Structure 1
Amino acid sequence: MSKSLRDAGRATGYLVVALALTFGLWIFVTVLIIAVVGTVTVVGAWLLPETVLLVRRIAGAKRRLTADWTGQRIPEAYRPITGTVRERLRTAVRDPGTRTDLRWMFAAYFYGALFFLTVPLWPLALVVDGVGAGLLRRRPLVLPWIVRVADLEADWSTALLKPSPQAQLSARVEELAATRADAIAAHGAELRRIERDLHDGAQANLVALSMRIGLALRACGTDPDTTRRLLGEAQTQAEQALTDLRHVVRGIHPPILTDRGLVGAVRALAAGSGLDVAVEVVRLEEDGVRAPAAVETAAYFVVAEALTNSAKYSGELTATVRLERTKRGLRVRVADAGRGGADEAGGSGLVGIRRRVAALDGTVELSSPVGGPTVVEARLPCVW
């Protein structure tokens, strides 16, 4: 009986909030009419995009409310309303998400009224049902129906608020366009970094090496001591040039990935990070199958950058790294219990992580409240 009461009470709360939102929609229709009239008369053309943005926020609130009841997130797909007044107006009118929201609004007017009429009966039903169940020693009669009504309302809302295939396709195209732009930007930045490292490092050392060898050749017949000194300096210069070239190669694709695989490479990163790092591996490389090289490289750099940030900013001496093979790819999670407050705009390398992962159609989630902990989680899709 107590569980039925709890479920019915939760369902009642959900329906009351849904009805309050529906009642707000009845009032909001006046704003919508004013925006449409203003657009038709041109004078208030700017009102419609702002009204559509407000509709999006209302629909978003309803999506969250329904998701809290059902436990399933309702996706949303909108085109960004930006630019001039004409561009904003065109986007607001042509966006399939606008039609989805308006369809839900007008449908909510009708089924919301139906639920509203039943509200006065709920308290009476709860009392009668509880008394009847106690006297007759049987299961509640009316309480499950309140839960079913809430389920029905949630099903209708989910069906109405779910983006159309056209809207989902449009949102996916825009997402891929943005991802492609980020990938191109990241690739360009990587090429500039490689060029700078080669120019300032290996190339400069090779030029100095060539000069010293030339001077040694001139002095080899007349001044053996100078020749030996110059050749010694040339050897040092050659070793430095090799070190610079290895640094550049590691920036392109770390050789340790080829030699040890992702798990071994990450353990080496952890050992050299200056932190006490616990590495957890879940279902990875257990059958000898490795992720594609591009995925392993991205995962390696996620761990490397995240551990570097932890060592620099967290103020904590411990961290954890989790590598997990999933059905859809590879999940990388790096966490520390430091001071938190990580900011992507602060130049901490998090933007680079996001761009590198986005280039593979992956996602990055950052959680770093002030006071900690900081968690960086990357999901990299791949086929095993």
Structure 2
Amino acid sequence: MWKSVRRAAEATVHLLVAAAMAFGTWIFITVLLITAIGTLVVVGVWLLPETVLLVRRIAGAKRGLTAAWTGVRIPEAYRPLTGTVRERVVTAVRDPGTRTDARWMAAHWFYGALLGLALPLWPVGLVVDGLWCGLLRREAVVLPLIVRLADLEADWSTALLKPSPQAQLTARVQELAATRADAITAHEAELRRIERDLHDGAQARLVALSLRIGLARRAYGGDPETGLRLLDEAQEQAEKALTELRQVVRGIHPPILSDRGLAGAVRALAAGSGLEVAVDDGGLEQGVRAPAAVEAAAYFAVAESLTNVAKYSGVSRAEVQLVRARRGLRVRVRDEGRGGAGVSSSVSGSEGEGGGSGLLGMRRRVAALDGTMEVSSPVGGPTVIEVELPCVW
């Protein structure tokens, strides 16, 4: 009984909010119809995109309300209203999402008023079902009807607000175009980084090595001691050049991933981070491995996140979790530091070059694999970075 009461109370709150939104929708549509002709004649069609944006916000609020009740997110697919006034008007008119929202608002205008009629069922249900259950020891009858009505309202809203296949396809094409552009930008920045590292590091040391070997050859005949000293310096330069070349190679694809797998590579990262890191590998050491590109993206996400913690968090502890999800690989890094991290923040290198450093570079690398990245970092902490990379196990 008490379980039914609690669920019916939640349904009543949902219906109450839905009824209030329906009443607001009724007022909005009524005022819109009255002012539409005057607006078009006196002001002009430039207000149409702003009206469409307002409708999108209302529909977005309804999607959130419905998702809170059902636990299932309703996707939205809109074309961005950008460009000149004419372009924005044309986009607003031709966008399938506009027609979807208009259809929902029209239907909501009619069936939304019925929601208010269901609210008196709550006190009636308490009395009737209280007597029914208390005296006759039977299950509640009226209160479950309120829950069913809330489910029905949520089903209607889901069906009406769900984007059409055409709108979803258009949004998907735009998303892929954006991620492809980000991937190209990140790739170009990575090439510039490798070129810069080779030019300023290994190449310079190899040039110095060649000069010392030449000087050693000249000096060896007349001054063997100087020649040996120059050869020692040349050997030292060769070792430094090899070290820098290894660092460049690790920046492309860390060899440790091939040798130890993602779990072992992440543990090595944690050990060398200078932090106290708790690693939960989720059993990735056994079973089928993820594709090399997915492992590399996850590795660099952990490396970047731990670098953030070491440099900016103000704490010496972090947690790393790897999860073999049903649709891919999930990476989660958490610290209890000062927070305030953002996707636009730079960790190493210069974001001004549009490069692949910092959290922005991490997001581009993840998006190139059609993955997602979420950053939660309120001021005062904690900071949680979650990356999900789709793959087939």
Range class of TM-score, shorter chain: over 0.9
Q: 5+ residue gaps in structure 1?
A: none
CA distance in 1, matches of 2:268, 2:314: 22
- Residue 278 of structure 2 aligns to a residue whose secondary structure is strand
Q: Which residue of 2 aligns with 1:237?
A: 237
Q: Identify if the C-alpha distance between structure 1 residues 38 and 173 changes in structure 2 by more than 3 Å, giving closer, same or farther.
A: farther
> Unaligned stretches of 5+ in structure 2?
348-357
Deviation at 1:6, TM superposition (A): 2.0
Taking a change above 3 Å as real, the CA distance of residues 125 and 252 of structure 1, as seen in their structure-2 partners, is closer
SS in structure 2 at match of 1:76 = coil
Per-residue CA deviations over 1:21-58 (Å, capped at 9, x if unaligned) read 11111111145336753675484222111111111111
Match of 1:219 in 2: 219
Structure 1 residue aligned with 2:373, among 347, 364, 368?
364
Post-superposition Cα deviations, 1:309-359, rounded to whole Å, max 9, x if no partner, equal 111111111111111112211111111111211122221311111111111
Query: Residue type of the partner of 2:299?
Result: Y
| Match of residue 314 from structure 1 | 313
Q: Is the 8 A contact 2:121 2:146 kept in 1?
A: no
CA distance in 2, matches of 1:382, 1:4: 42
Shift of 1:131: 3.7
Identity %: 75
Q: Which amino acid aligns with 1:76?
A: E
Q: Determine if contact 2:281/2:322 at 8 Å carries over to the other structure.
A: yes
Farther-moved stretch of structure 1 (181-190 vs 140-149): 140-149
Structure 1 Cα separation of the partners of residues 99 and 52 of structure 2: 10
d(CA) in 1 for partners of 2:66, 2:256: 48
- In the alignment, which residue of structure 2 is the partner of 1:332? 331
Aligned to 1:353: 362
Query: Root-mean-square deviation (CA), in Å?
Result: 1.8
Q: SS of the counterpart of 2:277?
A: strand
Q: 1:144 deviation in Å? A: 1.6
Give distance in 2, aligned partners of 1:260 and 1:16. 56
Q: Hey, what's the Cα distance between the residues in 1 that align with 2:140 and 2:391?
A: 50
CA distance in 2, matches of 1:4, 1:292: 48
| Cα distance in 1, alignment partners of residues 379 and 184 from structure 2 | 33
Conserved in 1, the CA contact under 8 Å of 2:319 and 2:334?
A: yes
Most deviating of 85-94 and 3-12: 3-12
Q: Secondary structure at the match of 2:323?
A: strand
Structure 2 match to 1:197: 197
Cα distance between partner residues in 1 of 2:299 and 2:8? 50
Q: Secondary structure at the match of 1:316?
A: coil
Q: Which residue of 2 aligns with 1:46?
A: 46
Distance 1:118 1:205 in 2: 80
Asked if 1:294 is matched to 2:303, the reply is no
Alpha-carbon distance in structure 2 between the residues aligned to 1:156 and 1:20: 17
Corresponding residue number in structure 1 for 2:178:
178
* Further displaced range: 296-305 or 277-286: 277-286
Q: Measure how far apart 1:7 and its partner are.
A: 2.0
The 8 Å contact of residues 212 and 230 in structure 1, kept in 2 or not, is answered as: yes
User: CA, structure 1 residues 279+219, in 2 after alignment: closer, same or farther (shift >3 Å)?
Assistant: same
**Do the aligned partners of residues 53 and 34 (structure 1) sit closer, same or farther apart at CA in structure 2, a change above 3 Å counting?**
farther
Q: 2:121–2:142: 8 Å Cα contact kept in structure 1?
A: no
Q: Is the 8 A contact 1:36 1:48 kept in 2?
A: no
What is the CA–CA distance in structure 2 between the aligned matches of 1:35 and 1:249, rounded to whole Å?
A: 65
